[in-house]
Structure 1
């Protein structure tokens, strides 16, 4: 048992890996980059044994994606491959397929994000594998899903944002579409949907004894989150356009600059909240002049200008104090530097301080979500390529040292 720091930044003994809400679950992660693997990260944080399967030569491309550390792997890899065991196995070779099938027989879940048809071509599609393990659950994430005219096309998160309609909404009204915050958001969201699907499928398999596969298109994960965009178009022909920091159906609900130069986010989502803001601004009469969201939306520019003028007369600390005292939701728009200095982040342990024997001191986003009885745990950062080959192929599958050596020489593992 090794040592790392807990979510409060204090050094403590790391819990045994067989604890957590998902303890006893074995997951084979044969996916690449972020989308399906992030589902594995969630399950691993919650106690599942997740075995990351990579190609023998080079491994997952995520190892070289982003900022490369002293150990040769990226910060993204060290963070998002955490708590996973790392093995190498060439699924394109018959010998690799045979070993993989042995692993499937001893596992509960497979995570994959190859183009549809790829696993079938290798002889390890869902129907092939469920013959070996009838209770098997398989998560399949691809650009456009397993069906439809675009099923075979490649795609990444940026493409998903565009195809889902999110990029259309991101940017200023008179400007081009921009990146909606993160180029990887669709990947992370798909991994979260994937975790929900896996848990639901596992629950059903407990009842019926029958596994199933979960089919997710990257774009679908984003499209599902676009509130009333679809029904508003279907019923009234409304095509929502870019609005910068504003929100379509409530005002004031935007970003404003304080007298000291910082930006804040303000959220007045209903009439009562605007009434409170009017009092905070020492202009209670505004609540009578603009009593409803409909009226305020009709006078968007004027209402926004009144709020902006008020914000511009007070420093950040004054704005935050006044809105807090008045019960109006308002927060500084943080950079990552601000986050590292914030007391709330520190109190909640959102920044996980750990030591990795390969990369040294690291600060990673803490595992989510918090559970009162079986909280998620950090055991180790992303492992070196093939670090757990001996354990998985030797102890779990029973291959001798010579068999492992021969398989390594043949490029199978």
Structure 2
């Protein structure tokens, strides 16, 4: 039985109740993941997001990831969901003029070109804000709009390296490794971008003025690295790779069960350590190693004790005993376990949809959940230019003849 032959995981919400961001129109002229993911978040919560792509081939994200029979990848179908899709060549004068007309009817522009690109096309924020004074523009680039590296290209892998995350990823005696996902910086930047857009829109409610949100991919990652900077500045500490371990806490790592599965165990406080010692039926450990400082000094020994205890029990036993003792512990899941887990099912974290182009799809549901205006799924990522008529004729009032002429000349 394949995954899609199994019972429906979670029916997506298709309620017509306006979302929290209903009435906000967003122009997504960005490519790949970072700024477009901000658009996905806004679209999930009801904003009208118009995805603008080059007429010849569209966004490269359509070809990134696992291919499907419809011609677009699973990444596109998931991450371009809920967006209208139109084609427009911003480099052509006629295309730039159409874009300016769209800006006059919109609230937000999302872009991630190299700094100076929009200005070169006559579409910088100074020009656009003169048309729409309340315009909010999110600009995501590798290194931000300023600084000596601002003109350099970069992707998420580069951001992980430059921000210091890759240096921390891997075993202590091994090379730096990919920190989980090569696209993590893109997704995190999209989230930070959404925070910025919402903050700017909130401020616009008071001032009536828009503003620019300037974000470098590396900044989105660096901001997540807890005490890395203050620990170095104050004490000269350069944190190194520690594998699955955590710098200031023990035991806080991954351990293998007798049945072969791996679990993550987190004892973030002395109280949790006391509970674990009781679960392991070794309460004296809580007296002998009572504080985090002491346990960190005896990291190897503590990890050895915990590893031996977990390694002596099957997965089910470990999970049952730690759960009963109030100790945070979970199996390290692959996607195969995720799609079967009752917690994911109960929370509706997976939604199975029937797409007219790609057929049945299992997609991650939007987060977070709102009690009155929850996110709504309307459709998966659409075909290139699927909404040209709706946007250019319905919003801008172009005639059939104008639409055909722009298409023939490669403007749309």
| TM-score (norm. length: structure 2) | 0.97
- Unaligned ranges ≥5, structure 1: 1-7
- Unaligned ranges ≥5, structure 2: 1-7
Cα offset for 1:11?
4.9
Cross-structure match for 2:381:
382
Cα offset for 1:15?
2.5
Q: Distance in 2 between matches of 1:212 and 1:334?
A: 42
Cross-structure match for 1:139:
138
Cross-structure match for 1:28:
27
1:66-115 Cα offsets, whole Å, 9 max, x none, are 10101000000000000000000000000000000000000000000000
Q: Distance in 1 between matches of 2:202 and 2:14?
A: 29
Shift in CA distance, 13/174, structure 1 to aligned 2, threshold 3 Å: closer
Q: Distance in 2 between matches of 1:167 and 1:10?
A: 35
Residue 14 (str. 1) matches residue 14 (str. 2)? yes
Runs of 4+ in 1 over 4 A off after TM superposition: 10-13
Cross-structure match for 2:330:
331
Residue 211 (str. 1) matches residue 237 (str. 2)? no
Cα offset for 1:10?
5.4
Match of 1:341, SS state, is: coil
Q: Contact 2:12 / 2:353 at 8 angstroms: preserved in 1?
A: no
Q: Distance in 1 between matches of 2:18 and 2:181?
A: 33
Q: Distance in 2 between matches of 1:182 and 1:67?
A: 15
1:34-69 Cα offsets, whole Å, 9 max, x none, are 000000000000000000000000000000001010
1:249-280 Cα offsets, whole Å, 9 max, x none, are 00000000001000000000010000000000
Cross-structure match for 1:292:
291
Task: State the Cα RMSD in Å.
Answer: 1.1
Match of 2:330, SS state, is: strand
Match of 1:131, SS state, is: helix
Q: Contact 2:272 / 2:327 at 8 angstroms: preserved in 1?
A: yes
Q: Distance in 2 between matches of 1:9 and 1:377?
A: 16
The count of corresponding residues between Structure 1 and Structure 2 is 406
Q: Distance in 2 between matches of 1:279 and 1:260?
A: 22
Match of 2:336, SS state, is: helix
Cα offset for 1:19?
1.2
Q: Distance in 2 between matches of 1:288 and 1:368?
A: 42
Cα offset for 1:188?
0.3
Cross-structure match for 2:150:
151
Cross-structure match for 1:84:
83
Cross-structure match for 2:247:
248
Q: Distance in 2 between matches of 1:347 and 1:231?
A: 41
Residue 223 (str. 1) matches residue 222 (str. 2)? yes
Residue 263 (str. 1) matches residue 251 (str. 2)? no
| TM-score (norm. length: structure 1) | 0.97
Q: Distance in 1 between matches of 2:343 and 2:10?
A: 16
